[in-house]
Amino acid sequence: MFDNFVVPNLLPAAPEIFLVVMALAILMIDLLVKDSRRTVTFALTQLTLIGCAAIQFATSTGEITYTFSNMFVDDLMSDLLKLFLYMTVVIVMFYSRGYVIDREAMNKGEYYVLALFATLGMMVMISANHFLTIYIGLELLSLSLYAMVAMNRESVVSTEAAMKYFVLGALASGLLLYGMSMIYGATGTLEITGIAERLYGGGVNKTVMVFGLVFLVAGLAFKLGVVPFHMWIPDVYHGAPTSVTLFIGSAPKLAAFAIVMRLLVNGLITMAQDWQAMLVILSVLSMAIGNLAAIAQTNFKRMLAYSAISHMGFMLLGIVTGVVGGDARYALNAYSSAMFYVIAYVLMSAGTFGMILLMSRAGFEADELEDLKGLNKRSPWFAGIMLMLMFSMAGVPFFIGFFAKFSVLQAVVAAGYMWLAIVAVLFSLIGAFYYLRVVKLMYFDAPADETPLSAGMDMRILVSVNGLAVAFLGIFPQVIMSLCAYALLRSL
């Protein structure tokens, strides 16, 4: 029975194999090493991620390589997104360290192991070339996140958030699976490149494909957190421990972008006119509801949740404008602008939640807008860092957020969607209000507590570097822009 078995090329999946082995090893080591601060577990987790980055870099050929019966693909887009993913998770783990140590219910080795398995799920999603591979990666990520949200078992709010996330996540997975099954029924294959070939060849039942596409886009919209599939985001962001909110609000956005590209651009590009119409609606609704609802929030984490919804809506504009009337000449510019936007958003989101973690301490969550009052009097330096992050989120020149928005708008205008660009700018102006409100609280309101901010040196350095990177990459955005364009040019 094994006569026809071909040993797959394991080199493209070397980082994933290394991460699985290390995650299992860390789980065992954590049981044997008695250390209340989990220093060994934390250090090994960070070394694992750095090791993955080194292997990714060493095994990257720049060519498109398929393995595991064409279910797994290694190309420059996946290499670049994974390198940003490792960097993001390393930063998230550093930010989370002090917060986790202060909370006994969360200070367990499982926290780090779950983070590694969630990272593995994202890596699989980024390199998926098959519906089953996407689903396996997605479920691995989702199940790890459900457990992380519920880790603080003493908190009723966290448990409630985890239950909501689990129930809605199961519903979204069902929608995605149903859409995949219909597309399989119409094309006879689960392989993404195979589906593209069948669609090019014609003879596929268009009605069944459109039905499948609707369910597929609905499932993807849930994972991106765009309207009207956004209902889980504010509750989960608010209810989850802040270190877990930071994780959910950053790294998974990279994987979500990757599966949108794999499914819609690599697999269903011939149906672009069908899915573009859906994405335009999702995008406009997300920018509208995300920005308007954020204004009414008093909780900082809920405000950032609605902000995330509007940002993902903005990112979808880049995906929408890749193909216009069957003409794909704008594709590279549009898709690379969307990729740049996601990377910029992840950097800004990590820094903002990092500031919340820096202000938090044992028994106190600095997650209300009131907690930011008078921050300038308590710590002028960190108020300045938060100012840069808020200006960048709002799209004020010359921060990375401005160039991220500008590159997407440029792609939208170039594709002839002038009305869409005007709508996006209007909602961005509305969005600027709640970011500037944070600046007003920090600089013009009196603090309730004038105690200077205290945090570990590593935390202070990392938050500072994160904030300054937002400013520096705003002055030199072409570095990441060029990387995104080159990676997509060699991958699509």
Encode pLDDT of 82-111 as tens digits: 999 999 999 999 998 888 888 888 888 899
Structure tokens at 383: 């108020």
pLDDT the model gives residue 267: 87
pLDDT the model gives residue 254: 94
pLDDT the model gives residue 327: 66
Give the best-scoring range by mean pLDDT among 20-24, 327-331, 376-380.
Answer: 20-24
Cα–Cα distance between 190 and 172 in angstroms, integer?
19
Please give the DSSP secondary-structure letter assigned to residue 262. Answer: I
The pLDDT tens digits for 166-214 are: 999 999 999 999 999 999 999 989 999 999 999 888 778 888 999 999 9
Query: How long, in residues, is the chain?
Result: 492
The pLDDT tens digits for 414-463 are: 888 899 999 999 999 999 999 999 999 999 988 877 777 777 788 888 99
Q: Classify residue 207 by burial, with Cβ atoms within 10 Å: 0-12, 13-18, 19+.
A: exposed
Cα–Cα distance between 171 and 214 in angstroms, integer?
15
248 three-state secondary structure = helix
Choice among 150-164, 405-419, 446-460 with the minimum mean pLDDT: 446-460
Q: Are 98 and 453 in contact (CB under 8 A)?
A: no
Structure tokens at 419: 């009305």
Q: Are 355 and 304 in contact (CB under 8 A)?
A: no
The pLDDT of 295-309, averaged and rounded, is 92
Give pTM, 2 decimals. Answer: 0.94
Q: Are 280 and 375 in contact (CB under 8 A)?
A: no
Q: Where are the domains of the chain?
A: 11-489
Structure tokens at 126: 């980024």
